[in-house]
Amino acid sequence: MSINSKLDIYNGSLDVSLIIKRWYDEESQSNYGAYIPFIGTVRSEDGIDGLSFDIYEPILFSWFNAWKVKAEKRGAIVKMAHSKGDVMLHESSYIASVFSPKRRVALELIDEFVEDFKASAPIWKYDLKDGRRIYAKDRSTAIKGSGLLGVTL
Amino acid sequence: MVTIDFLGPIQKPSLELEINNLNELAKILQEDSELSEWLQNCAVAVNDTLVSSLEVTLNDGDKVSLLPPVCGG
């Protein structure tokens, strides 16, 4: 059963084993020689209890669809899962995967996809600390072309 | 009427404005001192498509979104 590229949003943490296995099963007969998952896990640092995420889904889905087209031009597909809301320490909030006939395309695409995701996907991260939700401003990246409305006219 | 949405951490209620283009929006938002830092680092989308210029005409029912710096994953 092949269902190709897809993006799923979950409330709270991701069930890594289930998602990785489900994606494997979906493509097990699709003749892809390579399946490369990237699994993002919340680490303990700076005294945080976890992370929390806001997502703007309309632009996230158009960003993902552009990647789907880009991957498919190279004979590959991408699958992605991301959390919204709270994700506690040592849980996963993000999984991205590339399937391709040969390893080289998958290795290159997973790198390009995850880097562009970090720079462009409309998702906002907050530290959960002492019962507060604090925007991770210093770890965030302005989307390319930002600042338009701040230009003095 | 054009709706202005402030996404993610900006924590500001949406606005409904009678404006015809993004230049007019920039002038109005620049008068709000609470927004000055956000205006410098936000991307702008019109009807969920990112734009790269203020030379964009706005029509009744359009939606403008401000997207602050992102950090997924």
Over residues A34-47, the pLDDT tens digits come to: 999 999 999 999 99
Domains along chain A?
Answer: 6-135 (3.90.1170.40)
Q: Residue ranges of chain B with pLDDT lower than 70?
A: none
Q: What is the mean pLDDT of chain B?
A: 97
B2-67, CATH topology level: Ubiquitin-like (UB roll) (3.10.20)
pTM, to two decimals: 0.95
- pLDDT of A64 > 80? The answer is yes
What confidence score (pLDDT) does residue A141 get?
97
Computed from CA positions of residues A118, B32, A85, A138, in that sequence, does the dihedral angle turn out positive or negative? positive
Residue A73 near chain B (CB below 8 Å):
no
**Residue B55 Cα, gap to closest chain A Cα (Å):** 10
What confidence score (pLDDT) does residue A26 get?
96
Q: What is the mean pLDDT of chain A?
A: 96
Percent of chain A predicted with pLDDT > 90: 95
Of the candidates B44, B50, B73, which has its C-beta nearest A149's C-beta? Answer: B44
Residue from B45, B48, B22 nearest A145 by CA? B45
Helix (H, G, I), strand (E, B) or coil at A75: coil
Helix (H, G, I), strand (E, B) or coil at A60: helix
Residue from A9, A1, A146 nearest A79 by CA? A9
Of the candidates A117, A124, A142, which has its C-beta nearest B9's C-beta? Answer: A124
What confidence score (pLDDT) does residue A99 get?
98
Confidence of residue A3 (pLDDT cuts 50, 70, 90): low
Residue A67 near chain B (CB below 8 Å):
no
Return the DSSP state at B10: G
CA-nearest residue of chain B to A125?
B71
Query: Which positions in chain B touch A114 (Cβ < 8 Å)?
Result: 73
CA-nearest residue of chain A to B46?
A59
What confidence score (pLDDT) does residue B62 get?
98
Residue A123 near chain B (CB below 8 Å):
yes
Residue A134 near chain B (CB below 8 Å):
no
- pLDDT of A1 > 70? The answer is no
Which amino acid belongs to residue B62?
D
Question: What distances in angstroms separate CA A55 from CA B29, B32, B33, B55, B68, one per listed residue?
Answer: 24, 25, 26, 27, 12
Computed from CA positions of residues A55, A57, A62, A68, in that sequence, does the dihedral angle turn out positive or negative? positive
Instruction: Tell me the pLDDT tens digit for each residue of A106-132.
Output: 999 999 999 999 999 999 999 999 999
